Amino acid sequence: MTRKQRRMTIIGGSLAVLALAAALVLNALRDSIVFFSTPTMVAEKHVAPGKRFRLGGLVQPGSLRRGDNLAVTFEVADGGAKLPVAFKGILPDLFREGQGVVAEGALDDNGVFKADTVLAKHDETYMPKDVADALKKQGHWKDDYGAQASGGAKPAATTAQGNSQGAVR
Amino acid sequence: MTLWFVFALMTVAAIFAVLWPLGRSGRAQNQGSEVAVYKDQLVEIERDLATGLIAAPEAAAARVEISRRLLAAAGSELVSEPKSSLKWRRAAAVLALAGLPLVAIGVYMPLGSPRLPDFPLAQRERGSGMAQSLENMVVQVEQHLEKNPTDGRGWNVLGPVLQRLGRFDDAVRAYRNALTYNGESAERRSDLGEAISAAAGGVVTAEAKTEFERAHALSADDPKANYFLGLAAEQDGRKDDAANIWRALLAKAPADAPWRPLVQTSLARVGGGGATLPALSDETLAASKDMNEGDRNAMVRGMVERLATRLKQNGDDVEGWLRLVRAYLVMGDRDKAVGASTDARQAVASDAARLRQLNEGLKTLGLDG
Amino acid sequence: MIAEAGHYALVLALALALIQSIVPLVGARLRDDALMNVARSTALAQLLFVGASFIALVTLHVNSDFSVANVYENSHSMKPLLYKITGVWGNHEGSMLLWVSILALFGGLVAAFGNNLPLSLRAHVLAVQAWIASAFYLFILVTSNPFLRIANPPIEGRDLNPVLQDIGLAVHPPMLYLGYVGFSISFSFAIAALLEGRIDAAWARWVRPWTLVAWIFLTLGIAMGSYWAYYELGWGGWWFWDPVENASLMPWLAGTALLHSALVMEKRNALKVWTILLSILTFSLSLLGTFLVRSGVITSVHAFATDPTRGVFILLILCLFIGGSLSLFAARATSLKQGGLFAPISREGALVLNNLLLTVACAVVLFGTLYPLAMEMLADFKMSVGAPFYNLTFAPLFTLLLLAVPFGPLLAWKRGDLLGVTQRLLAAGVAGLVAVAIVWGWARGGSALAPLAIGLGIFVIAGAVTDIVERTGLVRLPFATALHRARGLPRSAWGSALAHAGLGVALIGIVCETTWNSEYIATMKQNDVAHVAGYDVKLDGLFQRQGPNYREMIAEFNVSHDGEALSVMTPSKRNFTTRGSSTTEAALLTRGASQLYISLGDTTAEGTIAVRIYHKPLVLLIWWGPVLMAFGGVLSLSDRRLRVGAPKPARAKQRLQPAE
C-alpha cells in the first residue's frame, strides 16, 4: 500500500466511527432526553401519559399524605397550577412541605404524576436550580410568601424581615 | 516588625532564585540529546535480543530503523555554541531585583492585612476581653446548652435570638426544647409555630398550624396564634375565614396593641371579596397614619415595593394590581395609588376581560376613572 | 503572621511565575544557557513558596484561626483534626490553592529531574508551565483568595458541609487534581514542541511516563470519588453521569488515548502530530472540568450569570489556553516532521482504532455534558441528559473498544497478521462464550444483554492472559524457558496486561451490580426481620449518640445468612448542629466482592424507621478494576528501560514469535 492509501484507510475508518457515534447520539437524543416541566407547563402543554419528564415546583403545604408501606402522595405547585404526585420509597432528608422539589417520572392515565425519583433541596440555601429558575421566570418567586412572612411574623414582637427569604436563594 | 522581616527574607530568597543561574555562566552542562536517546535504544535492542524477547530478524529490522534515525538526528543536531548575551542577563537581573519586589508589594498591599495578628483558637480561649458580637454570645449560649441541654431558661433566651438571626431551623429546635423543659404555654407554642413557618419561607405549614391550634386551645386570646391561623386560612385560599379570624382578633384587641396595624393591613389584603369592604373602614385608614411613624412602616413599605417590582415585570396579575393600589391607599398615599391604577390599566389594556375586572376592582376601592 | 506570610508567599510565587514565563523563552531564542537555566531555579523556588503558602493555610485551619475568612466559613473548632485538614480543600479557595500547589509540584519535578532533556526543550516546557501557573495565581489572588482576613474575628466557624466530612473526600480531590494537573506536563511539552518547531526523541521519552503518572492518579481519583458517592449519598448509586463526574471522565478518556498514542510515538516514532493534538485536548478537558466545577455554571446558568467574576475569569483562562494552543497547533503542526509508516492492520493501527474510539466516546460525553447548558442558554428550555442517553451512546462505543482490546497487544508492530492473532485469541473467545452460556443458564431474570456483557468481560480478561502466555511461550516452550522469559519480560508488558484485565473486571462488576442488585425498602420496627438475597436482617433497636460535632441516631441490625449469625451493622443518621443539616451514613457488610448495604430514612412517631437494604452482588469489582488498572500503570512506570518497538521485518519468514 502506498502512503496515500494508508492514509485514506485511516481517514475512512475515522469517518466510519464518527458516523456511528453521530447516529448513536441522534438516536439517543430522540428518546432518552428528559425535559423539565413545572405544573403550569404540564397543564398548558398536555403532556402525554407515560412520557418521562422532570417535574419541579414547591411541595404544596398540607398536601403530604403518607400511605402504607412508604407510599406517599403530595402536590407540587408553582403558583399557577398544582399537580398530584405519587411516590413510593424514602423521601430525601430535606423533603419538606413548602420547599422546592424535583421529581422524575411520568403521568399516569388519571393525570397523577408517578415519580420514581424525588430530589429535595440539598442544604439550607439550596433550591433545585430548575425549580428556582422556573419560578423566577414565571414571576412566582417567593414574593407572595415572603411578603406574608415578613408581614406575618409579627403580632408579638420579634421580627425576621428580610431573612424570611433566606431559605431560598 | 517580625512580619516585615520575614517578608524581606522571602523576597530575597525569591530574587536569589533568579540571580543564581545567571551568575553561573556558560559552564557546559550535561543535557539530553536526540542522539543519546537513539544510542540507548540500540543498546536496548541488543539486550532484548539476548534475553530472547525478540527474534533476530526483528532485531535486525529495528536496528536498521533506529540507525537511520540516528544518522538523521546526528546530521541535524544543532552545533549549538552556548552563547552568552550579557546585555540580556543584566536585563533579567534587573527584572528580578526591581520587578519582583515591585510586583510582590504591588499585589500584596491591596489584598493583605499585614497589621492583623493571627488569632488561633488557643489564644482566643485565653483572652476574652474583646467586644463580643451577638453571634459570639449565641455561640457561647449554644455551647453551654450543648453541655446542659435541660436548661429550659437557656432555651427560652436562645429561641427568639436565633429567630432574629434568621436561623429558623435552630430556632425551631430551641423552642421545642423550651417546651420540653419549661412546660406548655400558649406563647411558646405559637413562637414555635412562627419559627416553623419562618423556616418554611413564610408558609404556615401543617406542622406550624398544629402548633398554633394547640396554642389557641391553651389560650383562645393568644394574638400570635390567632393571627397565624388567619394567615393559614388565607394561604389555603379561605379568605373569608381569614378575615373573620382577624376581625375577631381586632375586636378583642386593646386599642394600643402594637400589632393592630399589622392585622389591619392583613385584613385589608384578604378583603378582595364581597365581605371585605369593612377592611377599608375609617378605622383602618386611621391606623395607617399611626403606622407611618411606627417602625413597621419600613417593613410594609418593603412588602409593597416588592409587589410593585414584581408587577412591573409581569403586569398580567389583576389581583396583584388591586392589592398594590389598596396598599397605597392604606398607607395614605393616594397619588401613588392613582399612579399604580394608571399603570395597571396600561398593563392589562390588551386584555378586555382583565381590564374589566381591574376597573370593577378599582371602583370598589373608590378610585373611579 | 502565618496567614500573612502564606499570603505573601503566594504573591511571590506569582512574581516568580511571571519571570519564569518570559526569561527562559528569551534565553532559548538567544541560546543563552544561563537565561534558560533561570526556568529551573524559579520553578523550584515557586514550588517552595506555593508549598509554604499551602502549609500556612493548613496550619490556619488546624489552629482554627477564624480571623481568616476561609477558615471561618469552612471550619469549626469542634471538628475532628482530620477534617480540619481535609476541610482545606473541601472549599473553593482552598481547592484552587491545592490545584496550583500540584501544578508547582509537577513543574518542580520537571526542573529537578529534567537533566536528560535538551536544555531549550526544558526551558520551553517550564515557561509554558509558568504561563498556566501565572493565570491561576492571578485567579486565586483576585477572585478566590483564601487568605482574606476578618478584622473582628468571630468566635466560632460555620463548619464544613457535613457531606464533605468524610475520609473518602479527604483523599479524592487531591488524587483527581494530581491527575488533572499532571496532564499539564504533556500539554507543556506539546506547546514547547510547537514553539520549537520540532519534536525529538527525547520528547517522546518524557511525555509517556508523565502522562502515565497523571493517568494513574486520575484513575484512582475517579474510582475513589465513585466509591465515596456510593457509600455517602445513601442510595447505593455509584455513577450518575452528573456533569461533575463527566468533568473528570473526559480527561480520563482523552488521557487514556494519549497514553496509547504516546506509546506509539515512543516506540515507533509515529503519530507525532496526533499525540501533540491529544496532549492539548487532554489538558484542555482538564481545564474545562475545572471551569465546570468551579464556576458554578452547572448549578445554574443563572446563578453563574448573577455572580460571574469567578466563572468569567476561568472562562477567560480556558479560552486563552485552549484557543491559543489550538491556533498554535493549526499554524505549526504541518511543519513538524512526519513519523514512521505502518500498515492499517498492525499494532499501530490497533492503537489508532483505540484512540479513535476513546476520543469519540469522550466527544459523546462532552456533548451530553454541554448540550443541556447550551440549550438552556440559547433556547431557554430545560432538560437533562442522564443515564439513558449514555447507555445508548457511550456503551456501544465502549463495547466496540473492549472487543478490540485483546487484539491490540497481540498484533505485531508495523504490519500485523489479523488471522494469526484471531487464532491465538481462540481460547479467550471460547472462555468468553462459555461464560455467556453459564451465566445464561444460571441467571434468572435480568436483561438478556447481561450474560453477553459478562462474556465480553471474560474475553477481555482472558485476552490479557493470552497476551502474557504468548509472550512467555508458556504453552509452546518448556516450562523453564517460559519462566526465564517471564522474568525477562518487561514490567510494562505485565502492566498493560493488568490494566486491560482491569477493564474486564470493572465491566463484570458493573453488569452484575446493575442486573442482579436486590433491594428492600420498607419501614421497620424493633425486632422486625427483613429478608434480602438470602440474608436475614433483624432490627435490634435505635440508639442516640453524641459525636464531636454532630448527634447521631444509630440503628443496630443483626445480619444472618442461613441461620448463621454474621455481623452487626450500624447505619446511622447524623445531625450536624452548626449547619443544621443531616447526613446518612450507610453501613456496609462485605462478603467476597459482594456487599450488603443498609441506609436509614425517616423515623415515624410510632417508633418505626424507614430502611433501605440492598444486596449488591460483585459490586466491589467496579472499583477493583480501576485499582488493577492503576496498579498496571505503576508497574509500567517502574520499568526504567527504554521502550523500543521492533518492527516486523517485511520480507522475513513468518514466525509465530510475538514482537515486543
Q: Which residue has better confidence, C110 or C580?
A: C110
Three-state secondary structure call for residue B1 = coil
B residues 323-352 closer than 8 Å to C (CB): none
To test the contact with chain A by mutation, choose from C235, C307, C382, C602 the residue with the greatest count of A C-beta atoms within 10 A, namely C382
Question: Measured between beta carbons, which residues in chain B are less than 8 angstroms from residue C155?
Answer: 124, 132, 135-136, 139-140
Question: Measured between beta carbons, which residues in chain A are less than 8 angstroms from residue B200?
Answer: 61, 96-99, 167
To test the contact with chain C by mutation, choose from A2, A15, A29 the residue with the greatest count of C C-beta atoms within 10 A, namely A29
Question: In chain C, whose CA is at the least distance from the CA of A91?
Answer: C601
Question: In chain C, whose CA is at the least distance from the CA of B103?
Answer: C15
Q: Does residue C11 contact residue C146 with C-beta atoms inside 8 Å?
A: no
Please report the ipTM that was assigned to this predicted complex: 0.83
A155 vs B164, B203, B224: nearest CB: B224
Distance CA B232, CA B217 (A): 16
Say if pTM beats, i.e. exceeds, 0.80: no
**Average pLDDT value for chain C:** 85
DSSP state of C448: T
Do residue B202 and residue A159 have CB atoms under 8 angstroms apart? no
- For chain B, 369 residues long, the average pLDDT of each consecutive 10-residue run is 89 92 65 74 82 79 83 67 77 89 92 83 58 63 77 82 76 85 84 83 77 86 85 79 84 78 78 40 43 51 73 74 78 77 78 78 69
Whether residue A152 lies within 8 A of chain B, CB to CB, comes out as yes
Q: Which residue has better confidence, B295 or A102?
A: A102
User: Å from A67 to nearest chain C CA?
Assistant: 12
C26 vs B47, B58, B88: nearest CB: B88
Do residue B3 and residue C154 have CB atoms under 8 angstroms apart? no
Do residue B234 and residue A148 have CB atoms under 8 angstroms apart? yes
Do residue C31 and residue B81 have CB atoms under 8 angstroms apart? yes
pLDDT at position B283: 43
Task: Indicate the angle between helix axes C387-404 and C347-378, nearest 10 degrees.
Answer: 170
Confidence of residue A7 (pLDDT cuts 50, 70, 90): confident
Q: Which residue has better confidence, B49 or C235?
A: B49
Q: Which residue has better confidence, B65 or C146?
A: C146
- Other CB atoms within 10 A of residue B259 CB: 18
Q: Which three cell numbers stand for residue C512?
A: 452484575
Residue C459 has pLDDT above 80, yes or no: yes
Distance CA C148, CA C7 (A): 9
User: Å from A60 to nearest chain B CA?
Assistant: 9
Question: Measured between beta carbons, which residues in chain A are less than 8 angstroms from residue B269?
Answer: 151
Whether residue A125 lies within 8 A of chain B, CB to CB, comes out as no
Average the pLDDT over each of A93-102, C216-225, C307-316, C450-459 and give the range with the smallest value. A93-102
Average the pLDDT over each of B86-90, B327-331, C269-273, C639-643 and give the range with the smallest value. C639-643
pLDDT at position A157: 28
Confidence of residue A120 (pLDDT cuts 50, 70, 90): low
Do residue A1 and residue C391 have CB atoms under 8 angstroms apart? no
Q: Does residue C446 contact residue C515 with C-beta atoms inside 8 Å?
A: yes
- Other CB atoms within 10 A of residue C417 CB: 17
Residue A133 has pLDDT above 80, yes or no: no
C residues 8-27 closer than 8 Å to B (CB): 8-9, 11-12, 14-16, 18-19, 23, 26-27
pLDDT at position C656: 38
Average the pLDDT over each of A17-26, B323-332, C455-464 and give the range with the smallest value. B323-332
Q: What pLDDT, in 10s, does the model give residues C115-135?
A: 778 888 889 999 999 999 999
Q: Which chains touch C (3 or more CB pairs under 8 A)?
A: A, B
Do residue C522 and residue A34 have CB atoms under 8 angstroms apart? no
Do residue C393 and residue A90 have CB atoms under 8 angstroms apart? no
DSSP state of C149: B
Distance CA C567, CA C557 (A): 8
pLDDT at position A144: 32
Confidence of residue C557 (pLDDT cuts 50, 70, 90): very high
To test the contact with chain B by mutation, choose from C23, C413, C470 the residue with the greatest count of B C-beta atoms within 10 A, namely C23
Question: In chain A, whose CA is at the least distance from the CA of C162?
Answer: A123
Confidence of residue C296 (pLDDT cuts 50, 70, 90): low
pLDDT at position B261: 76
Q: What pLDDT, in 10s, does the model give residues C198-212?
A: 776 667 777 888 899
pLDDT at position C264: 85
Q: Does residue B325 contact residue B341 with C-beta atoms inside 8 Å?
A: yes
The conformational region for residue C435 under phi > 0 = left, psi -120 to 50 = alpha, else beta, is alpha
Residue A33 has pLDDT above 80, yes or no: no
Concatenate the DSSP letters of all residues of C310-344 into one string. Answer: HHHHHHHHHIIIIIHHHHHHHHHGGGSPP-----S
Do residue A149 and residue B201 have CB atoms under 8 angstroms apart? yes
pLDDT at position B120: 79
pLDDT at position A110: 85
Question: In chain B, whose CA is at the least distance from the CA of C493?
Answer: B53
Distance in angstroms between the alpha carbons of the first and the last residue of chain A? 65
Distance CA B341, CA B308 (A): 12
Whether residue A104 lies within 8 A of chain B, CB to CB, comes out as no
C residues 154-213 closer than 8 Å to A (CB): 161
Residue C556 has pLDDT above 70, yes or no: yes
C183-199 burial: b if 16+ Cβ within 10 Å, else e: bbbbbbbbbbbbbbebb
User: Å from B294 to nearest chain A CA?
Assistant: 13
pLDDT at position B103: 92
B299 vs A97, A141, A150: nearest CB: A150
Question: Measured between beta carbons, which residues in chain C are less than 8 angstroms from residue B24?
Answer: 34, 37
Question: In chain B, whose CA is at the least distance from the CA of C576?
Answer: B170
Distance CA C329, CA C325 (A): 6
**What average pLDDT does range C290-315 have in this prediction?**
68
Rounded-to-5 percentages of helix, strand, coil across chain C: 65, 10, 25
User: Å from B298 to nearest chain C CA?
Assistant: 27
Whether residue B314 lies within 8 A of chain C, CB to CB, comes out as no
Question: Measured between beta carbons, which residues in chain A are less than 8 angstroms from residue C403?
Answer: none
C residues 367-386 closer than 8 Å to A (CB): 367, 381-386
Residue A123 has pLDDT above 60, yes or no: no
At CA A128, angle to CA A125 and CA A129, rounded to 5?
A: 100
Distance CA C200, CA B38 (A): 10
C393 vs A25, A94, A124: nearest CB: A25
A32 vs C364, C389, C602: nearest CB: C389
Distance CA A31, CA C656 (A): 49
pLDDT at position B133: 56
Residue A23 has pLDDT above 70, yes or no: yes
User: Å from C272 to nearest chain B CA?
Assistant: 15
**What average pLDDT does range C266-272 have in this prediction?**
81
The helix (H) or strand (E) run that includes residue C191 is helix C167-196
Q: What pLDDT, in 10s, does the model give residues C418-458?
A: 888 888 898 899 999 999 888 888 876 667 788 899 999 99
Residue C305 has pLDDT above 70, yes or no: no
**What average pLDDT does range C356-369 have in this prediction?**
93
